[in-house]
Structure 1
Amino acid sequence: MRELVFALEYEPGCNEVADALAEHPDARVRSLSLHATADRLWRVDHAAGTPDALDAIADAFRDGDYYADCLATDDCGATQTTRVLDRTSDTLVLYSDWERTPACASVPHIARDHLGDGVLFETRHEGRHYTWRLIHSGEGDVAAFFDALRTAVGECARMEMLRTADTAASAGGSEGDRNGLAPEQEAALEAAVEHGYYESPREIDVGELAAHLGVPRSTLTYRLRRAEERLAKAHVAGEWTAEERLASR
């Protein structure tokens, strides 16, 4: 089995969920379940954020002229429904059902075309960054998948490859993927440390660091947050493992 992890960074006005999340930087959406056939797509998503952010996210998902996964830039004639399954003051669970037309394109359907049936999907959407994690058999044409995806995305989003590996190697980390970080995250973290971003007081802010690295501010923020999240989780997991070893003595 193979793992592919990549991100789409949407331009303003190209994806309503991305626009809503960009206006609410602390909000995020992650998939709980995602299934696709040749002409349908079903998914359940968990959103977290302020009440205003959740309202904006729900409106983006329920807009009749738009579907979160459709990559078509014009109305493709698809039909979709989104229902609220659960809501609290800071969380929202949405169920979406999309019936596509031949003019529609999406990551899951392009993946089915080039990677075969049985692909598993996991998504995370923060700001304009829409991260996809795919698990597939490894027998498909990955290069053709990314070529088709670039064509479908066009000028609406920039695509960034984060990781490709055997799932067994990915689970334990691999050579060139130190601490499980994607190379872009590793480079962002090293630059942040080198230029004093983590000093107190900071010697450089995220905007200045982004300009120095020649990447958008939102891209650098995203890479640092993902790197920090992975390292924090790895640290806590390591602490628990150490405690378990001590307890077993």
Structure 2
Amino acid sequence: MRELVFALEYEPGCNRVADTLSEHPEARIRSLSLHATSERLWRVDHVTGTPESLSAVETAVLDSDYYADCLATEHCGATQSTEVLDHTDETLVLYSYWERTPTCASVPHIALDHLGDGVLFDTRNEGRHYTWRIIHSGTGDVAAFFEELEGAVGECARLEVLRTASASRSGSSGEEANALSPEQEAALRAAVEHGYYESPREIDVGGLAAHLDVPRSTLTYRLRRAEEILAKRYVDDGRVTGAPSIPL
């Protein structure tokens, strides 16, 4: 089995949900299940955030022509439905289903075309970044998959490949799974060199983004993911053995 991890960073105005999450950075969307056939797609998503952000996400999904994961830049004519399964002050659970037309395209359908049957999907949305983790048999054409995906998103989103590796039972494989992408490593190295982690900071994220010539949201995302990987690696290595003592 093989694992692909990549992110789509949406431009403003291209994706209603991405625009909403950008306006509410405290909100996160994580897929609970995602399935696709050649003609259909259905998924259940778990949204967390403040009551205000959850209401905004619900509105973005229900009050617009929303087809979950459809990459068509214009109305594709799909038959679709979205339902709210649960909505509390802390969480929102959404069910989405659609039947595609010849003009519809999506990451799962492109994956089925190039990576074969039995593909598993795990997704996470935050801000303008939509991260995909795909587990597949390893017999498909990964290059063709990314080529068609880039063509489908066009100028609406930028594709960043984060990891390609063998997938183990736990979902990823050792060194490869814990490795930073080149973009994450460059962001982290620049942050250290320019004093972003000093106290007080010698540069803020806006200044660092300008220095690296990348959008602020992109740099924030890369640093957050790099910090997550390094923190988990630190704990997995057994370096955290217990709660630290708190001086009185």
Moved more, 33-42 or 87-96: 87-96
3-state SS of 2:192 partner: helix
Q: For 2:174, which of 169, 172, 175 is the aligned residue?
A: 172
1:138 and 2:138 are equivalent in the alignment: yes
1:225 and 2:221 are equivalent in the alignment: no
Moved more, 156-165 or 84-93: 84-93
More helix by share: 1
What CA distance in whole angstroms lies between the structure 2 residues aligned with 1:2 and 1:236?
A: 25
* TM-score, normalised with respect to structure 2: 0.91
* Count of aligned pairs between the two proteins: 240
Q: Which residue of structure 1 aligns with residue 196 of structure 2? A: 197
Q: Which residue of structure 1 aligns with residue 246 of structure 2? A: none
Residue pair 2:166, 2:172 contacting (<8 A) in 1 also: yes
Residue pair 1:170, 1:180 contacting (<8 A) in 2 also: no
What CA distance in whole angstroms lies between the structure 2 residues aligned with 1:210 and 1:68?
A: 31
* TM-score, normalised with respect to structure 1: 0.91
Map 1:101-180 onto structure 2 (within 5 A). 101-168=101-168, 170-174=172-176, 179-180=178-179
Residue pair 1:78, 1:99 contacting (<8 A) in 2 also: yes
Structure 1's unaligned 5+ residue stretches are 244-249
Provide the aligned C-alpha RMSD in A: 1.8
Percent identity between the aligned chains?
75
Change (3 A) 1:241 1:203: closer
Map 1:44-123 onto structure 2 (within 5 A). 44-123=44-123
Deviation at 1:233, TM superposition (A): 2.8
What CA distance in whole angstroms lies between the structure 1 residues aligned with 2:94 and 2:154?
A: 28
Q: Which residue of structure 1 aligns with residue 245 of structure 2? A: none
Residue pair 1:17, 1:68 contacting (<8 A) in 2 also: no
Change (3 A) 1:9 1:200: same
Q: Deviations over 1:164-196 (max 9, x none)?
A: 11114942123xx7x432222122111111110
Structure 2's unaligned 5+ residue stretches are 243-248
Deviation at 1:125, TM superposition (A): 0.6
3-state SS of 2:173 partner: helix
3-state SS of 1:162 partner: strand
